[in-house]
Amino acid sequence: MDMRELLSKIPNFRSALIINVAATLVSLLVIFLLTFLIIRVVNQKVTELKRRHIIRKITLYIAIGIALLVVSRIWAEQMASVTTVLSAVAAGAVLALHQAVLNIAGWILIAFRRPYTIGDRIQISETKGDVIDISMFWTTLFEIGNWVEAEQSTGRVVTCPNSSVLTTPIFNYTQGFEFIWNEIPILITFESDFKKAEQIIQRIGEEMTSDIPSRVESSMEKMSRRYMIRSGHLTLIVYTTIKDSGVLLTLRYLTDTRQRRTTEVEISRKILDAFAQEDGIDFAYPTYRLYRMGESIK
């Protein structure tokens, strides 16, 4: 091809370029408006929060896919002539944006393997929270724990890169089995009637968690269909241990993941009321003795 022939094609190339740009802008505008209208209808018609969020995300992903197909179709002829250049650019982009590529890979893994979904309570590395959004690059959590006791909400929103699922253990509190073990340690004096104290703690624990066993069995049955898992000992128990300052009675029981603090507070109050009515049970606390001139001073 000589110079004259090349120059003669420049006007045609410019015309095609203008037409393609215009067609791209119009197509994207139409897709955007349709997506906006669909999401608006979903927000008005769907009241359940999780279902509404999932439908919005699916709608957005479908719109992005359609947009990519339409744009690639429009620019197919021009793209064919620069395939080699684009391949080199793509290779360089993968090297420069490797973290973004890992995030997308993590997003694909989350979408198909589903280590967690919207609404699950999870821990990624040292960060704990409820999953409120999963995008192509980030998982967004409503943080719990940190400086707040019993894994209550901190009020902060935390974003974690999706690449974390490829390299970091993911702890899921609620997937399949929505219960966790909790323990309440209670220290009483050596002089106290520890057997009676055990009975009181056991009775109160059973009263407060009476509905848990049947729900736990149902959850364990569902999990056994997916995992090789044994139920083990699922009923509450009181452990007795001798400590320096007294006898430690530890109540171990199953509770709803999101009701840990509420249940602990209610059980603790009932135990305090029950012990207050008993003359032979006293709470223990660390004591010290100072020795001076052969005498001991408590």
Predicted confidence (pLDDT) per residue in 246-255, tens digit: 999 999 999 8
Quick check: 142 and 163 in contact, CB under 8 A? Answer: no
**C-alpha span between 183 and 236 (Å, rounded):** 10
pLDDT of residue 152: 84
Nearest alpha carbon to residue 164 among 191, 127, 130: 127
* pTM, full prediction: 0.65
Lowest-pLDDT range, 13-22, 55-64, 111-120?
Answer: 13-22
Query: CA separation (Å) from 267 to 238, 250, 255, 264?
Result: 13, 12, 12, 5
Confidence of residue 10 (pLDDT cuts 50, 70, 90): very low
pLDDT of residue 15: 66
For the residues 11-17, what does the mean pLDDT come to? 60
Query: Does residue 3 have a pLDDT over 50?
Result: no
Confidence of residue 239 (pLDDT cuts 50, 70, 90): very high
For the residues 40-54, what does the mean pLDDT come to? 79
- Higher-confidence position of 150 and 38: 38
Any bridge partners for residue 251, and if so which?
A: 184, 238
- Higher-confidence position of 162 and 83: 162
**C-alpha span between 48 and 35 (Å, rounded):** 20
pLDDT of residue 26: 85
Helix 3-45 with 49-74: angle, nearest 10 deg: 170
CA angle 52, 54, 57 (to 5 degrees): 110
> Residue 39: phi, psi to the nearest 5?
-65, -35
Gyration radius of the chain's alpha carbons: 31
Confidence of residue 266 (pLDDT cuts 50, 70, 90): very high
Confidence of residue 74 (pLDDT cuts 50, 70, 90): confident
In this structure, which amino acid lies at residue 92? Answer: G
Sign for the CA dihedral angle at 219, 225, 227, 231 comes to positive
**C-alpha span between 35 and 25 (Å, rounded):** 15
What are the tens digits of pLDDT across the range 184-201? 999 999 999 999 999 999
Confidence of residue 162 (pLDDT cuts 50, 70, 90): very high
For the residues 264-288, what does the mean pLDDT come to? 89
pLDDT of residue 1: 47
Q: Which two tokens stand for residue 86?
A: 């684009």
